[in-house]
Chain A
């Protein structure tokens, strides 16, 4: 290894560029992996609801004589009794929909108490079952808890609420879920609501929100002409149920448009469209760069083998076996790659520190650096294999035959 290294140093200029290219590829690879891991982690967060079996559908009425409350009652009755449907609910939003309603909730009344922001899902006693969320303490709403919103002077909020565990812990950090049951919180500064249940998890509709795990179920139905139904089906029935429901609703009442049928999977895909596009782009760029680098290695090694044909013949004449010639070029590449990946490791960490500061990215996991080093070492060895094989096939007679 000593002489190979010394020979490399004497020809620095021809190898510096490729080492630099390896270093840049490595730096980019590590930081791309860091971004991909970060995005994948965000994308991997569970919404808490039964995503595979849920879809939403809208009804928009244009009939001026519409009896909204009886329309909703009839629609829900129809949907809930449809074969393959588990449950359905009238609601204002769902996780990952990127649009919804939020409100502040405080543990003490008054204009000055600190309110914690929380996403609101208006539901009835079917909300828990429709979203497929788990109650970990307390109870579900009873039909008697649920009321219609009355714009003409009725109470603005019902008396009971169910909180996500994250919201409960944000309000009462010292308590367990069970201890929170029966406690009173205040909405719109002074209106008391009693916490009757805690659900394990249900994300807010906005995936970027720092409080994305804080949500609240409110037993209230509201609306005047637009209705969003969320439906949960038996496993495997979703796709066949959707068109049936669309048709049944449209047939039941013709004074409206049934629209916007969308599975929860599609809602999720739309919410994370940018992230998955980013991941694909990064994978593409890193693969492309790695391919270019390995082509560069192939090119440099081929050139170096061609330039040293006579030297290879001489080494063979002096007793080198084919294996030792092969090993020579593999080892040479390994040394160049090592310089490259070590430089790349330093560069990668520097870029990462900078990105953490500028973009508030989480720092790379320690193992990404050695994994990327290993990957580029392997890429280098594979790239050099062809030229090294050719070198090992150079005839010993080249020593006397070439000028």
Chain B
């Protein structure tokens, strides 16, 4: 489903070379819920960005859904992101000047659905995250937890195969974090593959599989992590 082989990623600035990922290999199967933990600066976001086709990489191979992504041009990568991948961000990334309805509409418009189809999908995902009554609200009129639910609705509206989340609960208190986590688990149970970066050991532990990144490398998978987080 998602297959990375010997990916390395080097950021070059004028003064330093940062090896954000080195020789990173990982396979994620359809329907998995993978949590990614690791110290700050270890390369978690870099991994997620590459997985989500938000940036390229220096060397290695990455294929998504059986398709090699190395040769894809920018437009095809955009289309893949739009059709197959849903993103959830730590700071929600809702568009402040658009109301909730229009925010969820953003990826659907890029997809080219007609307005009836878009309306149907928006109503259904907003209903699912329990915010159907807030369609005309602006993001600033919602709580953080509600905003993240809108962001999840937006990520799900296009029915992606993958959901990539970078610290989705990082800006939420524990009660709200818990409800977001429940939502993600629910989504995963319906078949969507989820990869979630988190700093919360308790949340990471709820995923079916954990990976630990240190110094741009996959440290110990699965069992190893359980030791690391001491559960």
Contacts and interface: CB of A to CB of B under 8 A. Distances in A.
Contact of A319 (B78, B93, B97, B166): B78
Nearest to A319: B82
B49 interface: yes
A322 B81 CA distance: 13
A399 B109 CA distance: 19
B89 interface: yes
A400 B166 CA distance: 8
Interface in A306-343: 310-311, 314-324
B89 A10 contact: no
A399 B93 contact: yes
Contact of B54 (A6, A310, A320, A397): A397
Contacts of A324: 110
B75 A399 contact: no
A319 B110 contact: yes
B78 A399 contact: no
Interface in B42-90: 45, 48-49, 52-55, 74-75, 78-79, 81-83, 87, 89-90
A401 interface: yes
Interface in B147-180: 154, 158, 166
A399 B83 CA distance: 18
B111 interface: yes
A403 interface: yes
A318 B102 contact: no
Interface in A274-309: none
Interface in B116-151: 138
A401 B93 CA distance: 11
**Candidate in A310, A316, A317, A399 with the most chain B CB atoms within 10 angstroms:** A317
B106 A318 contact: yes
A310 B139 CA distance: 15
B111 A6 contact: no
B107 A6 contact: no
Interface size for chain A: under 10, 10 to 19, 20 to 34, or 35 or more residues? 20 to 34
Given A400-B89, A400-B166, A317 B52 contact: yes
Contacts of B52: 317
B6 interface: no
A3 interface: yes
Interface residues of B, number: 35
Contact of B111 (A7, A314, A319, A399): A319
A401 B166 CA distance: 10
Interface of A: 2-3, 6-7, 10-11, 310-311, 314-324, 395-397, 399-401, 403
Contacts of B110: 315, 318-321, 324
B25 interface: no
A323 B75 CA distance: 9
B91 A396 contact: no
A71 B82 CA distance: 97
B102 A319 contact: no
**Candidate in B45, B54, B55, B110 with the most chain A CB atoms within 10 angstroms:** B54
Given A10-B138, A315-B110, A400-B89, 11 more contacts: A3-B102, A3-B109, A6-B98, A6-B102, A311-B95, A316-B78, A317-B81, A318-B81, A396-B78, A396-B81, A399-B89
A177 to B, nearest CB: 71
Contacts of B96: 311
Nearest to A11: B97
Contact of A399 (B87, B154, B158): B87
B200 interface: no
A396 B110 CA distance: 15
Given A319-B83, A320-B110, A3 B98 contact: yes
A287 B55 CA distance: 44
A53 B110 CA distance: 69
19 contacts: A3-B106, A6-B99, A6-B102, A7-B95, A7-B98, A311-B95, A314-B95, A316-B81, A318-B110, A319-B78, A319-B81, A319-B83, A320-B78, A321-B75, A396-B53, A397-B49, A401-B45, A401-B49, A403-B91
B168 to A, nearest CB: 12
